[in-house]
Amino acid sequence: MGIRFVIQFLIAALAFASFTSAACAEDGYDLWLRYNPIEQSLRAKYVGHARGIVVERSSPTIQAAVNELERGLSAMLGRSIGRTALRDGAVVLVTGRQIPGIGNEGYVIRSARLRGHAVTLISAKSDVGALYGAFAFLRLIQTRQDLAHLDIADAPKLPLRMLNHWDNLDRTVERGYAGPSIWDWASLPTIDQRYVDYARANASIGINAVVLNNVNADPKILTPEYLTKVAALANVFRPFCIRVYLTARFSSPIQVGGLATADPLDPTVKAWWRAKADEIYRLIPDFGGFLIKANSEGQPGPWDYKRTQANGANVIADALAPHGGTVLWRAFVYGNSKEDRAKQAYDEFRSLDGKFRSNVIVQVKNGPIDFQPREPFHPLFGQMPHTRIGIEVQLTREYLGQTDGVVFLAPMWTEALDSDPCSPRCGRPVKATIAAMAGVSNIGSNRGWTATKFDQANWYAFGRLAWNPSLSPKQIAGEWTRMTWDNDPRAVKPIVTTMLGSREAVVDYMTPLGLAHQFQDDHHYGPAPWSCGAKEPSWNPCYYNKADAGGIGFDRTATGSNAAGQYAPQVARCFADLNCVAAKDLLWFHHLPWTYRMHDGQTLWASLIERYDRGVAQVETNERNWAELRPYIDSQRFASVSSDLHRQVLEAWWWRDASIAYWQSLSKLPLPPGHSPPAHPLSWYQAVRFDRVPGFLAPRIDPRTLCVAGRGGSSCAQ
């Protein structure tokens, strides 16, 4: 028995062992890379196209591709698949090929004949192209595609596809709901297998950059002690062609460097950033660069020295330029003027178009406020033609229920990517104007990585959309479902249907018709449309709803803040015109009487109530549909999703009832027939408080508050 045979036997045994343990108890750790065994009836068909792996040459990245093919094919085919000499049915990886149309990172997968053998050829220009091709080939099998006549060419549409972790050095995660940070700074530079699996998962969907730490940055990250730890992570990610980026606090020259100033035009500050960049590149030769939040929510920035945002970005960009590094400079600034918050980023950045260095990307959130369940697209898109722009979306569900139920975010991101800013002309959607897509990570050290099992889908969808922003949410949901749950159409169809309707359901039961930011306190969990006490006006729900006895909504037309006027004329005209603006954006742009007649003849009041109830009904349907899926899902994950969905139903009722109770206290209108009154009086919802969030199951309610036993499931004060 040769050593090769023994190794192959061990791989097969390991694959089998991981399958059997997964079948008993799946905890979600394997994500969409489960590689569960193919049904016996189909197996022979696939084995014929995966008899072994042939590579021309090796490198750490090619080795990562081979490892993944061995792991995935062996597990799915139930036999050991390893390297082989050229033969029929081989999977052949070739690199260094000049293939038109696929750039540096793309690949081609073709059924071909090679020296007389029928093989599947995965060819690419670069090693990373071959790695992406290997994952794509595995995905074909995972989703049960026919491998007989393959002719696929694919390449990323955006060069920079990056996760942004909001992870602090003490392992807390800002807006993180998936346990402590996965970066264990205390034990680094010791490497945990989890870091490798994280890199595999990212590479499998084309993510090629990660920012390790929070945009509210701790300057310590730039000290030698931490940089050594960062370098250890970079070493793990390098074979997967994932570049490490860091956030840097703008005042680091003072806090880390001991300088008296962080003024970006000061020569000592320039020299400090240059020296710091040189130091980092000595440790991490492929370091990606810095992501910076400046002059926002208390962070220091160039305005502290009366310099522009461009001055601030450029001093750091100049330090990185000799090494090929990039600055991601966030456009998320507000609170420095009394203007409508939705206008402030545009007001600050638009006039700086063309003033940023070529290695700066201005990172713009998908909407003008802050990752609300629905916002119109950000007015900066398309309007800074001489600046590289990146879009930032949020995977972690800060404003969308945090840890409850199912909320698939691809439809929300696609809405922004497909929007047409009509600047400089119509017909060029946001996705055609951007150089990067960044996603605020939802990953933590939970065994299943994310807060809920379905939040894994948002990680997956983010990578797939950053690779190709034209992919449809339906295709992405279908792929993910087949890889993560089951290929049986009786499971795939209802799961995909649930996913595709899930974001709209949240919009309906939280903030329908263009409402936004109706959340409790700073934790952004639960409804508080009445709330008006925060010191920063734009942290208050009342700032956004402007509701009173006369009506509801924010007038952003020329009679109000004129935020609509920041968009290109065709877009602005439509947003400002009640005959053109879509119902979904109505109250974002208009303040209207409760009795306003919608296009369908209903009053605004009736339309609002109908949407709240539609959202609740949708999540109730989702819960029922999931219950039918028991035969297709392992018990552990089935139970976990059941409980998440149940909590979402309770939360949807809470949102619906609290919101309606408040609006009704202002409008004084009766509920339209067929819609039930809130379970509790308004005072009950106003008395709900939390010591910890998310914490629906343990709200604190003032015992003196009136209580009516409720259908929403929440009990009164204990």
Whole-angstrom Cα distance, residue 716 to residue 699? 9
Instruction: Tell me how many degrees the CA angle 102-104-105 measures, rounded to the nearest 5.
Output: 80
Rounded distance between C-alpha atoms, residue 497 and residue 478, angstroms: 9
Cβ-based nearer residue to ligand GCV, 279 or 297? 297
Instruction: Tell me the closest approach of the beta carbon of residue 374 to ligand GCV, in angstroms.
Output: 16
Please choose, from the candidates 295, 296, 223, the residue with its C-alpha nearest in 3D space to the C-alpha of residue 264: 295
Using CB under 6 A, pick the residue from 34, 200, 293, 656 that binds ligand GCV: 293
The 200-229 contact track toward ligand GCV, x by CB under 6 A, reads: ---------------xx-------------
CA–CA–CA angle 131, 136, 141 (5° rounding): 130
Q: What part of residues 439-478 is at the interface with ligand GCV (CB under 6 A)?
A: none
Instruction: State yes or no: is 263 an active-site residue.
Output: no
Query: Would you list the DSSP string of 76-145?
Result: HHTS---B--S-TTEEEEE-S---TTSTTT-EEEEEEEETTEEEEEEEESSHHHHHHHHHHHHHHHHTT-
User: Given candidates 107, 166, 272, 662, which one binds ligand GCV under the rule CB under 6 A?
Assistant: 166
33 binds ligand GCV (CB under 6 A): no
Question: Which one, of 422, 419, 425, 423, lies nearest residue 469 by Cα?
Answer: 419
Of the candidates 56, 279, 297, 628, the residue annotated as catalytic is 297
175 interacts with ligand GCV by CB under 6 A: yes
Cβ nearer to ligand GCV, comparing 347 with 634: 347
Q: How far is the CB of 240 from ligand GCV (least distance, A)?
A: 26
Can 702 be counted among the known catalytic residues? Answer: no
CB of 399 to ligand GCV, least distance (A): 8
- From 70, 348, 370, 613, active-site residue: 370
Identity of the residue, 391 or 491, whose beta carbon is nearer to ligand GCV in the bound complex = 391
CA-based end-to-end distance of the chain: 70
Using a 10 angstrom Cβ sphere, with 0-12 exposed, 13-18 middle and 19 or more buried, the burial of residue 126 is buried
Radius of gyration, CA atoms only, the chain: 26
Q: Does 174 interact with ligand GCV (rule: CB under 6 A)?
A: yes
Quote the Cα angle for 247-370-454, to 5°: 85
CB-based burial label for 24 (10 Å; 0-12, 13-18, 19+):
exposed
Cβ atoms < 10 Å from Cβ of 627: 12
Tell me the sheet residues that pair with 672: none
Asked whether position 515 contacts ligand GCV by CB under 6 A, the answer is no
- Please, what is the minimum distance in Å from the beta carbon of residue 389 to ligand GCV? 17
Q: How far is the CB of 297 from ligand GCV (least distance, A)?
A: 6
**620 binds ligand GCV per the rule CB under 6 A:** no
CB atoms within 10 A of CB 335: 15
Site for ligand GCV in 305-334 (CB under 6 A): 332
Q: What's the CA gap between 61 and 130, in Å, rounded?
A: 8
Q: Which is nearer to ligand GCV, 127 or 398 (CB)?
A: 398
Shortest reach from residue 256's CB to ligand GCV, in Å: 20
Minimum CB separation of residue 524 from ligand GCV in Å reads: 6
The footprint of ligand GCV on this chain (CB under 6 A) covers a number of residues equal to 10
Residue 501, CB-side half-sphere exposure with 13 Å CA sphere? 18
Number of other CB atoms surrounding residue 634 within 10 Å: 17
| Number of neighbours of residue 632 by Cβ within 10 angstroms | 16
Nearer residue to ligand GCV within complex by CB, 134 or 217:
217
Give me the least distance between CB of 159 and ligand GCV, in Å please. Answer: 23
Comparison of 72 and 312: residue with beta carbon closer to ligand GCV:
312
Using the minimum distance from each CB to ligand GCV, give the nearer residue, 398 or 623: 398
CB of 561 to ligand GCV, least distance (A): 20
Task: Kindly tell me which of 321 and 345 has the beta carbon lying closer to ligand GCV.
Answer: 345
* CB nearer to ligand GCV: pick between 107 and 525: 525
What percentage of the chain's residues is helix, strand, coil (to nearest 5)?
40, 10, 45
Can you give the three-state secondary structure of 226-256, one letter per residue? HHHHHHHHHHHHHHHCCEEEEECCCCHHHHC
Residue 161 CB neighbour total at 10 angstroms: 25
- Are the C-beta atoms of 541 and 662 separated by less than 8 Å? no
- For ligand GCV, the closer CB: 95 or 511: 511
Q: Is residue 91 within 8 Å of 127, Cβ to Cβ?
A: no
Is residue 634 involved in binding ligand GCV (CB under 6 A)?
no
Segment 384-423, which members bind ligand GCV (CB under 6 A)? Answer: 398
CA atoms of 102 and 125, how far apart (whole Å): 8
Q: Which of 348, 392, 398, 404 is catalytic?
A: 398
- DSSP string across 266-290: -HHHHHHHHHHHHHHHHH-TT--EE
Is 249 an interacting residue with respect to ligand GCV (CB under 6 A)? no
Under the binding rule (CB under 6 A), the answer on residue 341 touching ligand GCV is no
Q: Are 330 and 164 in contact (CB under 8 A)?
A: no
Task: Determine, following the binding rule CB under 6 A, whether residue 163 of this chain makes contact with ligand GCV.
Answer: no
Q: Is 375 in the site for ligand GCV (CB under 6 A)?
A: no
Confirm whether 398 is a catalytic residue.
yes
Q: Which of 26, 68, 348, 370 binds ligand GCV (CB under 6 A)?
A: 370
Nearest to 314 by CA among 256, 387, 400, 243: 387
Q: Which residues pair with 688 in a beta bridge?
A: 701
- Least distance from C-beta 228 to ligand GCV, angstroms? 26
Taking the least distance from each CB to ligand GCV, the nearer of 276 and 330 is: 330
Residues involved in catalysis: 297, 370, 398
Q: Which residues bind ligand GCV (CB under 6 A)?
A: 166, 174-175, 215-216, 293, 297, 332, 370, 398
